Amino acid sequence: YISDVWKDHYEEFKKQYVQQELGVNESFGKIHVFIDFGNVNHWFEEDRQDHDNNPLKDNEKLVINLRKLKEFVDLFSLDSRFYYGHDRQNLKSIGFIRVARDIFGKYRVFTKQIQKIKHYLTNDEFSSNTRDVHEDREGKYILIPKCNFDVEIAVDAIKHSDKYDTFCLLSSDADFVHLVRFLKTKKKKVILIKGGYIVSQLRKEASLVINAQNIKKYIAEIKQRPGD
């Protein structure tokens, strides 16, 4: 019993600490989180340091830990929705969605089949390309997976807007500018958690902008690169 009480106190203290660190105060009211994971998944792929600025080894990389991500958003939000595509022909992709549903909940993970778009390689791109190369009459090309959830997130954000005071988006996609502007006309606040560059219009419309580098310690882990 004592350990349960201590755990409850610790969790409450952690919530207060993280909310204060992020700048999320009581004025944001009820917060719902929408995770555009196709964007989030690439936040730290170019990073060569961990959250303490220690250099990563050559065979190490930073990746998003889904369980840590869920625990993080639970510190300041009442609900979270996870959007990410899948490839029916890839067992790892199907397995990833199963894990996401186990962590976020079966009805909080939204997915659809990934489309593969042809990209014809230029001479300069051959040396840096790591994907399988195909060829047709137009030339040599690679298949780039693409799966955009802008429409799904926008529809869900509007459809469920009576349930929250603040819309929190994990993405850097400029296509969300119109959604954010619309939500503001409905007296909603907007928290944007972004990695890398965002367009000035999106930054301007947000009530609070949080840089992904500032939450790296909460959501990322070190893993070995494939083949190492």
pLDDT tens sequence across 36-66: 999 999 999 889 998 888 999 989 999 999 9
- Look at residue 1 in the predicted model and tell me its pLDDT: 54
Cα distances (angstroms) measured from residue 13 to each of 34, 158, 215, 217: 25, 32, 17, 17
- Look at residue 102 in the predicted model and tell me its pLDDT: 98
Q: Give the whole-angstrom CA distance, residue 38 versus residue 42.
A: 7
pTM: 0.86
Instruction: Tell me the one-letter amino acid at 206.
Output: A
Q: Give the whole-angstrom CA distance, residue 43 versus residue 86.
A: 19
Q: Give the whole-angstrom CA distance, residue 199 versus residue 25.
A: 25
CA proximity to 179, closest of 199, 150, 207, 200: 150
Q: Which residues of the chain have pLDDT under 50?
A: none
Instruction: Tell me the one-letter amino acid at 56.
Output: L
- DSSP assignment letter at 57: P
- Look at residue 2 in the predicted model and tell me its pLDDT: 55
